[in-house]
Amino acid sequence: MLQMMLNSFIRTFLNGFKSLMLHKLRAGLAMLGILIGVTAVIWLVALGEGVSYQAQQQIKDLGATNIIIKSVKPANSAPKSMGAFFIEYGITRDDFERIRTIPTVWRSVPLRDIHKEARFQDRTCDVRFIGCTSDYFEINHLTMERGRFITDRDGLDRDNVCVIGNETAKHLFPYEDPIGRAVKIDNDFYVVIGLTASRLPSAAIGGSLEGRDYNTDIYLPLPTFRARIGDQVFTAKAGGREGEIIQLNQITVTVRHIDQVEQTADLIKTQLERFHKTPEYAVVVPKELLRQAEMLQMMFNALLVVIAGISLVVGGIGIMNIMLATVTERTREIGIRRALGAKRRDIISQFLAETVVLTGTGGALGMACGYLCSPVTEAVRWMLQNWFSDVWKSLPLHLQAVEPMFAAWSFFVAFGISVVVGVAFGLYPARRAAMMDPIEALRHE
């Protein structure tokens, strides 16, 4: 019984294929519509994934995968150590060691900063004096104009070296090359080993998530900061001075994927709550950037679905048009088959088989053409670079670097949709053929 059903199924499709071959050009044009539709879906998804990836990387660069842990002075804080002058609060080096062991944490960057006056000869400049590690350079997307940034080896040796910002260099070294010269801060001298390139003040970028002017910073190794400056800070108050003990001002934690941010932030809060009885810290999660990333992904997906749907519906309309014409041309054939005993379901099966052959063949060819997206993209890129250089230069760098990213599901989904569209749009012509009166069909000329 199963063998008979299988033979009937194969025979139906072979008959459908033979019928289509009687009108090769018409069948080819119908398949071309499906081919273009399937190819368009695959290309759009591949390019959309590439553009989405670039956009996601930009959002990540803005700090969407960063979690900021800051020291916050508690309200109504009272001195806790070293007499009545010092107040100790904030995140500690032990907190940093515990946080970095959380499994989802990819990178953690500690920071200690203080506002100081830098001096070179008779020139002075107010700067933000920052003790950090080598990862600070990457997480804040700094670039070097000259020299190098601090390294972990500088921290191991507690070298008196520093890297200065562009504006700081202009104030302290308007006529000299700062590399190799020594900047005085308090009673210590720090040899300048690097100069960061100028950049615009920024907000919600990198490891800060607040307005920052990196051009007035001076960076030195965190162990050197601890050895030379220490944890104690004096601040002027009305009627005297107040001292503070702060081990770290900030820890910037980076995770690999955006969907790990909120989970990791919750784990960090749990860790800190165990060792801090007062609210002397703040965990800042870039929720706005996270929502922006999610919204961007949803927009891309919606756009792809709409365009893919339109392209395949257009191909389906072409299939319906062809099959309606075929039914009209083969009216007499349908009448003869009905007169010889063919049932309505046999007629429907025959025409649906022809439709599936059309859409399946077109879909398979479309899947093969989908792989041409990469070479076509490279060809378009080459043409823009060589023939339309002005247009090419006007494009954003991230758009110039877009590469198609093939999604395996897009091939199968596009093929499946093409077959479903073929069946959906072929059902009406097949049913119309099956519902014909055999006598009227036989009279048709």
pLDDT attached to residue 131: 93
Nearest to residue 330, comparing CAs of 350, 356, 316? 350
Does residue 439 surpass a pLDDT of 70? no
Task: Give the chain's mean pLDDT.
Answer: 78
pLDDT digits (tens, 9 = 90+) for 26-35: 677 777 777 8
pLDDT attached to residue 81: 46
pLDDT attached to residue 399: 67
Could you give the count of Cα atoms lying within 13 Å of 292 in the half-sphere of its Cβ?
A: 15
CA distance 77 to 262: 30
Name the 3-class secondary structure at 68.
strand
Name the 3-class secondary structure at 366.
helix
pLDDT digits (tens, 9 = 90+) for 336-378: 777 777 777 777 777 777 777 777 788 888 888 888 888 888 8
Name the residue with tokens 């506002």: 115
Mean pLDDT of 267-286: 86
CA 206 to each of CA 209, 266, 301: distance values in angstroms, whole numbers, following the listed order:
7, 21, 27
Nearest to residue 217, comparing CAs of 164, 181, 180, 170? 164
Name the 3-class secondary structure at 351.
helix
CA distance 417 to 424: 10
pLDDT digits (tens, 9 = 90+) for 30-50: 777 778 878 887 887 787 777
pLDDT digits (tens, 9 = 90+) for 243-257: 788 889 999 998 888
Residue 136 burial (C-beta neighbours within 10 Å; 0-12, 13-18, 19+): buried
DSSP H stretches of helix in 221-343: 222-228, 261-275, 287-329, 331-339
Name the 3-class secondary structure at 22.
coil
Q: What is the pTM of this model?
A: 0.59
Cβ–Cβ < 8 Å for 261, 104: no
CA distance 339 to 407: 50
pLDDT attached to residue 348: 73
Nearest to residue 69, comparing CAs of 96, 87, 94, 88? 96
Task: State in Å, rounded, how far the first CA of the chain is from the last one.
Answer: 39
Does residue 205 surpass a pLDDT of 50? no
Name the 3-class secondary structure at 128.
strand
Q: Which of 128-137, 141-150, 310-319 has the lowest mean pLDDT?
A: 310-319
